[in-house]
Amino acid sequence: MTITNMSFRDAIEARRSYYNITDESTLSNEQLEELVADAIKYTPSSFNSQTSRAVLVTGEKNKALWNAVWEAHKPNLKVEELPVYEDKFKNSYAAGYGTIVFYEDQDAIDSFVKNFPIVQWTIKDWVQNSNGMAQYIAWTALAANGMGANLQHYGQYSPVNADAINKHLDVPSGWKVPIAMLAFGVPSDINAPGNPAYAKTFEPLVDGETGRVLVRH
């Protein structure tokens, strides 16, 4: 794993949404490949089913990917939304060094269901849980290496969007829905608007019986 010597505690705090990213990377392409492979490899999955997949896209292919998504997504938007989204596509997604696109492999899920029919109704949720863990590991690993990233879901807006992404990435037919797209790069300026997303507020945590965490020592 290419993670720096940042502590796990510091890494989970450092991971934020960054919306002003540049086409620079603190890691080489080989290190990025390792980071993505490690995230997929070490993410736990129900019954060790290993149904999650990812594509690492960088450079010109990354810019072309976001251009393809933009062309597919435009018809979903109202006229007044166009400039807002055009800015997001340009400065928050295409401007980055790369994108990690996360999938579930439907063929692998079908085999999983066949092998474990007793849990067939929960597998749909479990694979999504596991996919989210892989996204989180990659996002946090990028943050631990000084990279900003933001998580997008344009592949889920419409089958047209999904098709545009899948065609561009030339993925196997079982990789049907691009579940999440993690756009990343060195942040343009830590203090620029959108870096991090906003001053984050937190709901009360360990706070008697009303917090988000209950304690039962």
In the complex with ligand FMN, which residue's Cβ is closer, 115 or 128?
A: 128
Q: Any contact of residue 156 with ligand FMN (CB under 6 A)?
A: no
Tokens in use for 89?
A: 């596509």
In the complex with ligand FMN, which residue's Cβ is closer, 4 or 17?
A: 17
Q: Which residues within the stretch 68-87 sit at the binding site for ligand FMN (CB under 6 A)?
A: none
Among 74, 124, 153, 212, binds ligand FMN (CB under 6 A): 153
Q: Any contact of residue 151 with ligand FMN (CB under 6 A)?
A: yes
Q: Any contact of residue 212 with ligand FMN (CB under 6 A)?
A: no
Contact window for ligand FMN (CB under 6 A) among 20-28, 42-50, 118-126, 194-202: 194-202
Q: Which residues within the stretch 92-131 sit at the binding site for ligand FMN (CB under 6 A)?
A: none
Q: Any contact of residue 20 with ligand FMN (CB under 6 A)?
A: no
Q: Any contact of residue 67 with ligand FMN (CB under 6 A)?
A: no
Among 197, 207, 211, 212, binds ligand FMN (CB under 6 A): 197
